Amino acid sequence: MANSTTVTDVSLETTFLGHKLSNPFMNASGVHCMTTKELDEMANSNAGAFITKSATSIERAGNPEPRYYSVPLGSINSMGLPNKGIDYYLEYVLKRQENFPNAGVIFFSVAGMSVDENIKLLQKIQDSSFSGVTELNLSCPNVPGKPQVAYDFELTKEILTKVFAFFKKPLGIKLPPFFDFAHFEIMSNILNQFPLTYVNSINSIGNGLYIDVESESVVIKPKNGFGGLGGEYVKPTALANVRAFYTRLNPNIKIIGTGGIRTGQDAFEHLLCGATLLQIGTELHKEGISIFDRVEKELKDIMAKKGYKSIDEFRGKLNSL
Ligand code: SIN
């Protein structure tokens, strides 16, 4: 029988924590979310939700520039967590939730430099009237001298144990990519012990090196050019991590798929692997917020062609051979 689904039959509506979002797309923390102006633009865009830049206790200037560089297949960055400090972002989200109580769910990202700082940041959120979702970033590869937390399994467990002793609001974590089945297993076993709302996979692939042959030079200044990779380079790794965690975590822990989403097809692939929400970083940086209109249209076109009216009809249903 010929498929008669048309684009107008297709809905991208996504439910997350009881909130109905018009679509699963949002920015990845770090892109288009540093200032209140950028956050307002995200909030007024056609993305289904938005997240703030990972905040530390006080404002940080981050690493010296140039620290972000777009390359043909993606990006390399070593930003070093520049941000305006937790109070700046908390004030913004509290105002926003008061002024627009029905505008969906707000995501708030924090990235402490130590266990103690993470606890203090989360304590502040716990004590505030913030009613959205908090993302604990355990995966920043760009601060000189600081290894990223999530590659230390013991430390990850220690932090989550301390956090969930007092943090009672919805909490997700942002993870770096893992590359080994043993690591997927170990991490999943740890995460399954906690009431996490979601796992966001992946942050950038840490410490790549991009070289400009003309000048025989690296392209970013910090760390002698080493930086996190994003964009097309990372999509297969991102899909593998989304799939690995989707098939190992308790079904009540949702997956946010991040990494290499440039087209509606990339989004479709992440959803097929099991993602509930989708974050765009590198391509949002390249294209600006109009990217959300484009990828939504492209995803709807693919769904219509395949006869899917809703994402739930295919989410997680990746075929094996
Ligand atoms: C950065 O600010 O260096 C990027 C943040 C991250 O990768 O988590």
- Identify the pLDDT of residue 3: 77
Residue closest via CA to ligand 1's atom 5 equals 140
How confident is the model at residue 2, as a pLDDT? 57
- The Cα 98–Cα 96 span in angstroms is 5
Contact 202, 255 (CB under 8 A): no
User: Residue of the nearest CA to atom 8 in ligand 1?
Assistant: 140
Query: Which ligand 1 atom lies nearest to the CA of residue 78?
Result: 3
Helices (H), the chain: 36-43, 86-99, 115-127, 153-164, 181-191, 235-246, 264-273, 282-287, 291-306
What's the pLDDT score for residue 262? 98
Tell how far the Cα of 107 is from the centroid of ligand 1, in angstroms: 16
30 CA from centroid of ligand 1 (Å) = 7
Atom of ligand 1 nearest to the CA of 141: 7
Closest atom, ligand 1, to C-alpha of 67: 3
Q: Tell me the one-letter amino acid at 26.
A: M
Q: Residue of the nearest CA to atom 6 in ligand 1?
A: 140
Among 255, 218, 186, CA closest to 77:
218
Q: Which residues line ligand 1 (CB under 6 A)?
A: 30, 54, 79-81, 137, 139-140, 142, 203-204, 228
Q: How far is the CA of 31 from the centre of ligand 1 (A)?
A: 10
| Domain range annotation of the chain | 7-62+82-206+232-313
Q: Under CATH, which number does the domain 7-62+82-206+232-313 receive?
A: 3.20.20.70
CA 177–ligand 1 middle distance (angstroms): 14
Element (H, E) at 198: strand 198-201
pLDDT at 296: 98
Residue 6 has a CB neighbour count (10 Å cut-off) of 10
What atom in ligand 1 is closest to the CA of residue 79?
3
pLDDT at 102: 87
| β-pairing verdict for 198-201 and 171-175 | parallel
* φ, ψ of residue 78 in degrees (nearest 5): -140, 75
Residue nearest ligand 1's atom 2 by CA: 81
Pocket perturbation via mutation, ligand 1, pick of 76, 79, 173, 220 by most ligand atoms within 8 A of CB: 79
Taking the alpha carbons at both ends of the chain, their separation in whole angstroms is 25
Task: List, for the chain, all residue ranges whose pLDDT scores fall below the cut of 50.
Answer: 1
What does the alpha-carbon distance between residue 72 and residue 188 come to, in Å, rounded to a whole number? 34
Tens digit of each residue's pLDDT (9 = 90 or more) over 153-192: 999 999 999 999 999 999 999 999 999 999 999 999 999 9
Distance of CA 242 to the CA centre of its chain: 12
Instruction: For the chain, give the number of residues.
Output: 321
106, 50 Cβ separation under 8 angstroms: yes
Identity (one letter) of the amino acid at 246?
Y
Residues with catalytic function: 140
Bin 145: left if φ > 0, else alpha if -120 < ψ < 50, else beta: left
DSSP string, 241-281: HHHHHHTTS-TTSEEEEES---SHHHHHHHHHHT-SEEEE-
In the reported structure, the alpha carbon of residue 313 is separated from the centroid of ligand 1 by a whole-number distance in angstroms of: 34
Angle separating helix axes 86-99 and 115-127, nearest 10 degrees: 30
CA–CA gap between residue 230 and residue 237 (Å, rounded): 11
